[in-house]
A and B are shown apart, each in its own frame.
Chain A
């Protein structure tokens, strides 16, 4: 079966793929075919591709080995290195493990796939890629580094994370702000359900003009509209507590409250100078990637 670009962005198609590196490559390649945009080429340390040698061009770009073998003048092009640090913040709290009845994957899996794609794109753009996230019980931090090996390390770490425990604590966020290198783009992948006030404090680093932040809120469709059932005993995934309620009865009120919360959250995040985008697990990964590329384009 030939996969189309659209199907390669569909989380339902990608959810079963274990290799995040391959997944990111497929998604990004498919996505970029649709976008018809090339990566930045220029002087750098990372070989990118060959092209025909243009007479008059600096001969140091010639690949003499190819000339010796094929008697053809070709020039090597290199991926241009940037000074940008791409740090992906992946929320690994238990609530991210939620998966609705109709969803193809959990919120965390969706965020994992999106994070892999963004890291891959960042590496292809010449950014240094790093990772921060996890949960209160298991905190991960990879300092941004350039190169393919750094990307692989990041992807392996993303793939090994599991949603469990509570959100990363306040002190961890403070440490993160202190060690975050300047000229950083921070992509936060979370459900942002633990309160808008906390995020105002956590995203303090985005107030700096040298940093940029994109908050991608990943939600399940049932979190917006509640599951369909006569009566349910809701049990909190992160905290102890349960509430018996009828979704049919309380749906209207719930949706209203949730909309209000999302509005407040967005306002709060925007006040910190960050971008905010809310996506659901039923949407394809292109929404998140587009948001990221929009941020990159704006930065350039």
Chain B
């Protein structure tokens, strides 16, 4: 029996073929003839050929047959016949049910359909059923032959999981069961066959003894075609929206074929704060923004009002309160000298300028305890006298950052740093320079410098120091430290030592002169300082919130957090936002052939529609593609057609 994989192609093929057929059947055939003179030849109507002679009726019949063959070939013909060879006479009284438990099954009613189908399967009082599914904890397996009561209970306990898909693992397990269970007669796969999930599937369930039955769920009236009728929140972000206000920005997607108006609301503190009507284009997206006061609530939820085919992607929660500010302290010799005071004020201004001032901000703390960064202008012997050096070392070894500028006595400073194993260097001389006609131009950053990533190609390359005070010309330094920046004469401008736990000691080789006039502080010196102190790097408190998807695991020291469900979580000092994988709400599904290919690894594998009852091997159908035979037939018919449609040049008696 011939079955067509693309039956619609039959109609389209006929629709295309008939006009062509008509054209060919009545086409005019003119033979080219060289003639000595066209002087007495005038154009005439050309009689249509091929209508009345029996031989031409044969040609017409041939052409009809040719187009039928072409149409049949395009319709992907297969021969469905009984297996002539039944390799092993077995009793296939076992049936394994594979259930797709991915989150996408919760949309378009797919899960309910799958559960209903399973309940039907388990209600016919036959034995030999098995079940494979998964949860967040791993695969769930009920071997073939389990009691129907247990299977019914297992089905009721299943639900779509937010975590990563274990479809491949389930299919691998099914393959092993298939290999070991010689009497396994059928594997039934219940899934929505969503493309984002199934396109990565590499099943190898090809086995002539086991029939694979695909049960598409949630496909509605048009199985194996893309679904419609879903709207989703694709993205949502919160950012400062002015003084004491926040701006909520979101992208909404529409997978419907028609434009849809949707009401979007922001909920905070248990009530709707703002709502907007948004018109979503067909198969497109639209942005929406809200501006809310920031101090009233800690979190908010943006929600699409109304219902659609997939509900879980209609809301998204997020933190809206600013995280605590990062702290820095200034450690300076008291009382402050005039030049120290100017430098302290400048550094304080620089640090308070880092970040956006709202969500990512730095604050000066009076105490130097538990701060993230210590600023020590004029580092010298006074640190040792005040017993500050052990605290500085603890601070660095615990992951803190310290910024040092040279003090009055360079020899004493060097000795203190060396004694506490903080930094070891030698220097040529001290340049007492207040004002220079020749500015300290910074060397072009080498490619290996970590600063290149930030400043390469930017205006920061123009950074130069027109005026510095007490420039210390270093000669050599220990290997644990590195010099990321030089002036154009090759003299180091800063030495950085990194400690194992993330601590960072930044030693500037000069004292800052804040009353300089043309140093582009905001544009270049501030980002330079930020980069030298790694103030924005991950782990330095730069990130605001941590976004996770179910299944992600976050570690902090010896503790870890595994995201399972969407929502907002406060874990240790982390504020976490867990949101579902957006790909799970995509409406695209794979075709039946693609599903077959994904499961079997080859085209032409046995596939049937879901049918109630068991299938015996004697009734098993073997599908054999016939397109090659159709193509061969087309070729032969085409050759005959070309031969028969040659212009006739036999002489006819003249009247």
Contact = CB atoms under 8 A, between A and B. Distances in A.
A245 B652 contact: no
A246 B42 contact: no
Nearest to B28: A231
Interface string A201-238: 00000000000000000001001010111111111111
Instruction: Give the interface SS of chain A, mostly helix, strand, loop or mixed.
Output: mixed
A251 interface: yes
Contacts of A223: 36-37
Nearest to B649: A229
B46 A244 contact: yes
Interface stretch (A17-25, A36-44, A94-102, A267-275): A94-102
Q: Which of B35, B40, B47 has the most CB of A within 10 A?
A: B35
Interface string B36-50: 111111111111010
A230 B41 CA distance: 15
B29 interface: yes
Interface string A231-269: 111111111011111101111011001100100000000
Contacts of B49: 230-231
A193 B569 CA distance: 103
B91 to A, nearest CB: 71
Contact of A193 (B33, B39, B45): B39
Nearest to B29: A231
B33 A249 contact: no
A73 B36 CA distance: 60
A51 to B, nearest CB: 50
B31 A243 contact: no
A228 B652 contact: yes
Nearest to A93: B36
Interface string B141-152: 000000000000
Given A223-B36, A231-B47, A232-B31, A254 B648 contact: no
Contacts of A238: 36-37
A98 B31 contact: no
B651 interface: yes
B30 interface: yes
A228 B36 contact: no
A193 B648 contact: no
Contacts of A232: 30-33
A231 B31 contact: yes
Given A193-B37, A251-B654, A229 B647 contact: yes
B34 interface: yes
B176 to A, nearest CB: 72
A284 interface: no
Contact of B33 (A233, A254, A258): A233
Contact of A235 (B28, B33, B651): B33
A107 B35 CA distance: 12
Interface size class of chain B, counting residues whose CB lies under 8 Å from the partner chain: 20 to 34
A249 B35 contact: no
Contact of B42 (A96, A233, A245, A258): A245
Contact of B36 (A98, A230, A254): A98
A230 B30 CA distance: 8
Q: Which of B36, B43, B647 has the most CB of A within 10 A?
A: B36
Nearest to A219: B36
A231 B648 CA distance: 9
Nearest to B651: A228
Contact of A245 (B41, B647, B650): B41
A232 B36 CA distance: 14
A191 interface: yes
A249 B30 contact: no
A246 B31 CA distance: 11
Instruction: Give the interface SS of chain B, mostly helix, strand, loop or mixed.
Output: loop
A206 to B, nearest CB: 24
Contacts of A239: 38
Contact of A257 (B29, B40, B45): B40
B40 A261 contact: yes
A245 B44 contact: yes
Contacts of B30: 231-233, 244
B648 A230 contact: yes
Contacts of B39: 193, 261
A59 B296 CA distance: 157
B36 A237 contact: yes
B41 A234 contact: yes
Nearest to A227: B33
A173 B458 CA distance: 88
Contacts of A229: 31, 33, 647-649
B47 A191 contact: no
Contacts of A251: 654
Contact of B40 (A235, A241, A242, A258): A258
B654 A225 contact: yes
B651 A101 contact: yes
Contacts of A98: 34-36
B34 A101 contact: no
Contacts of B43: 243-245
A236 B35 contact: yes
Interface string B617-655: 000000000000000000000000000000111111010
A235 B652 contact: no
Contacts of A254: 40-41
Nearest to A228: B651
Contact of A250 (B31, B44, B652): B44
Nearest to A253: B42
A200 B165 CA distance: 99
B46 A246 contact: yes
B35 A250 contact: no
A286 B494 CA distance: 120
Contacts of A243: 38, 41-43
Q: Which of B33, B39, B647 has the most CB of A within 10 A?
A: B33
Given A95-B36, A236-B35, A236-B37, A246 B651 contact: no
A234 B42 contact: no
Contacts of B28: 231
Which 10 residue pairs of A and B lie closest in terms of their CB atoms, listed nearest first? A95-B36, A228-B651, A257-B40, A98-B36, A193-B37, A234-B35, A231-B46, A233-B30, A245-B44, A249-B44
12 contacts: A98-B36, A223-B37, A228-B650, A229-B31, A231-B47, A232-B31, A235-B33, A238-B36, A242-B38, A245-B41, A249-B45, A249-B47
Interface of B: 28-47, 49, 647-652, 654
Given A193-B36, A229-B31, A254-B41, 7 more contacts: A225-B654, A228-B650, A229-B647, A232-B32, A233-B32, A234-B38, A238-B37
